[in-house]
Chain A
Amino acid sequence: MRRRPSFSGAMLILGLVFLYLPMAVLVVYSFNASSLVTVWAGFSTQWYAELLHDEQILAAVWTSLRVAFFAASAAVCLGTLAALVMTRFARFRGKTVLASMVTAPLVMPDVLIGLSLLLLFVQMAALTGWPADRGMMTIWIAHTTFGSAYVAVVVAARLREMDRSIEEAAMDLGSPPARTFFAITLPIISPALAAGWLLAFTLSLDDLVIASFVSGPGANTLPMVVFSSVRLGVSPKINALATLVILAVSLATFVAWYIMRRREKKRRAARRMSG
């Protein structure tokens, strides 16, 4: 491979600087002693201490984590079923409809999803009395819905590229489809399920617009609290929160990278042994 500076290589570096510089600025100013986010006045960790004593933010973190956990778990179940139907099932009436309902949420603007779901919940409450009040339950439904679309895309990609002959061998030997799925397919696609779960989890934690529409009084997720604070201007406490979020995501990504690399090494070693 040629090693000489190229235009695309320079653009890649420029792009990465563009992506990471603002996050680095956030992290640096979270340790600023001054409450003005733009003037440096010495090192301090006071904003972290204030953050950890902010009852409202802590309560919102707990709400968000619970909603995200249950939404991601439900989205993995629904999304995997949708992916199975799209990649393994013969054509049937409605398959195109299902495919468009899976791809549309990936790009649909949040305001449209939020408004339409709220109108649904209001109508349902008027007709059936459920949901009587909006809150964590309605946010969970909304996040499960768009999360399952992302899971379906991730899992379908894995289902398409995996070796089908193992499934076919199991079926030829008389294993019913359900048992084949749980004994053969599921273990093979489990990394994709984990990736889909994490994606749905982070998307749920991150959502402001849809949650604002479908939430009711009392249920405030973290983005809703952060938004109402940020609207009033910059505050170093939000910088401290941002630093913790960036730290957590970086650690998780590093662990994922490490596991992937180790598995790849093992695979290569196994190939050398057998070949």
Chain B
Amino acid sequence: MSFRSRFCSLASAGRRRLQLGRRAVIALPMLWLSLFFLLPFALVLKISLSEARISVPPYAPLADYVDGTLRILIDFGNYLFLLGDSLYAAAYWGSVKIALTATLVCLLLGYPMAYAMARMRPRWQLVLMLLVMLPSWTSFLIRIYAWMGILSNSGLANQLLLGLGIIDAPLRLLNTQFAVVVGIVYAYLPFMVLPLYAHLLRLDPTLLEAAADLGSRRVNTFLKVTLPLSAGGIMAGCMLVFIPAVGEFVIPELLGGPDTLMIGKVLWEEFFLNRDWPVAAALATVMLALLLIPLALFHRYQSRELET
């Protein structure tokens, strides 16, 4: 074998090893996430089409062999059941309404916060970013629990209102839709502020100066320059609040009352209390379908962030 051909075969062996290494690096996260994130959703769809029955696990198989022939049982009964009971439609509508309200409040409060942060000196920016994020690193459950004490009939909010003479008798604040919205805003506000802040930081201040030099009023500059240029941050922040808020369970369970119907709570009760796995799976499938468009919007924004 000539030197040249031996060199070439060595190089191709090296390249093959490189290809192998490349494939392994791709395969590991790909396989893990496919198995433990993607495949489970296919199973949810599958089980939503099967019949509930009292067994372990509590649903009928979709396909089985009876006398040597394959029988496939697809049952849309769970979806018909969801359609038949107005409770479920009300729960979906209630979730979307509460999540939208909370997202809007988060945006109205979070945007000025992010705006003020982006205009500070760099050293203060880091401190403020840590201050905004710190609550989200403590326990979510405990932060919602804090509001149970504040909003209760003898709680701080009522004591304050009574003391100021605004009301004569304690208001019912806990176990209302109002409490649920407050809880969602409180829990998710940091996730609204962070992407807005990142976007406003990248905003070129010379654009604002140019607008001012050309005689634009501050409100006009804000509406025509700042707001459009931070649209990506608004989108990301709103999706980071809205999507998880629709499926929220802990907040309506602890702060909501009998009149707060939210789909995450209904799903939890179907699963843990009624032990009706197929109906819970059908509820999950419909929730996922409802969230597909918001998820796609979020993904488009996020992949732009990841690749550029």
Q: What is the interface of chain A, defined by CB distance below 8 A to chain B?
A: 1, 6-9, 11-12, 14-16, 18-20, 22-23, 25-26, 29, 36-39, 78-79, 81-82, 84-87, 89, 92, 94, 96-113, 115-117, 119-120, 122-123, 126, 141-142, 144-145, 148-149, 152-153, 156-157, 160, 176-178, 202, 205-206, 208-209, 212-213, 223, 226-227, 230-231, 233-234, 238, 241-242, 245-246, 249-250, 252-253, 256-257, 260-261
Contacts and interface: CB of A to CB of B under 8 A. Distances in A.
Interface stretch (B4-12, B18-26, B68-76, B85-93): B18-26
B189 A246 contact: no
B126 interface: yes
B36 A141 contact: yes
A101 B292 CA distance: 14
B116 interface: yes
B261 interface: no
Given A102-B29, A115-B281, 9 more contacts: A7-B112, A8-B119, A15-B110, A19-B132, A98-B26, A102-B306, A103-B298, A107-B240, A242-B146
B40 interface: yes
A19 B135 contact: yes
Contact of A110 (B28, B36, B40, B249): B249
B29 A148 contact: yes
Nearest to A77: B28
Max chain B Cβ within 10 angstroms of own Cβ: one of A103, A113, A231, A261: A103
A223 B287 contact: no
Interface stretch (B161-169, B207-215, B227-235, B264-272): B264-272
Which secondary structure dominates where chain A touches chain B? helix
A111 B267 contact: yes
Contacts of A89: 22, 25-26
B306 A12 contact: no
A81 B123 CA distance: 32
Contacts of A22: 143, 146-147, 150, 186
Q: Which 9 A-B pairs have the closest CB atoms?
A: A109-B247, A116-B40, A11-B112, A82-B29, A8-B116, A22-B146, A12-B116, A8-B112, A107-B243
A109 B142 contact: no
A117 B44 CA distance: 9
B142 A107 contact: no
B43 A37 contact: no
25 contacts: A8-B116, A8-B119, A15-B112, A15-B113, A18-B186, A19-B131, A19-B189, A20-B135, A101-B33, A102-B29, A102-B33, A103-B306, A109-B247, A113-B37, A115-B280, A115-B281, A116-B40, A145-B36, A153-B306, A223-B139, A226-B141, A226-B142, A226-B145, A234-B148, A242-B146
B178 interface: no
Interface in B99-140: 109-110, 112-113, 115-117, 119, 121, 123, 126-128, 130-132, 134-135, 137-140
Contact of A249 (B137, B277, B306): B137
A177 B284 contact: no
A127 B139 CA distance: 37
Given A22-B146, A111-B247, A112-B287, A103 B302 contact: yes
Given A8-B116, A15-B113, A253-B137, A101 B37 contact: yes
Nearest to B243: A107
Contact of B28 (A19, A78, A246): A78
B96 interface: no
B41 to A, nearest CB: 5
B109 A120 contact: no
B16 interface: no
B30 A98 contact: yes
Contacts of B180: none
A156 B294 CA distance: 23
B216 interface: no
B56 to A, nearest CB: 9
B65 interface: no
A99 B303 contact: yes
A1 B298 CA distance: 35
Contacts of B37: 101, 104-105, 113, 145
Nearest to A236: B149
A202 B287 contact: no
Contacts of B294: 107
A109 B264 contact: yes
Given A20-B135, A145-B37, A92 B271 contact: no
B113 A12 contact: yes
B179 interface: no
Contacts of A98: 26, 29-30, 33
Interface string B140-160: 111101111110101110010
B97 interface: no
Given A15-B110, A108-B243, A120 B307 contact: no
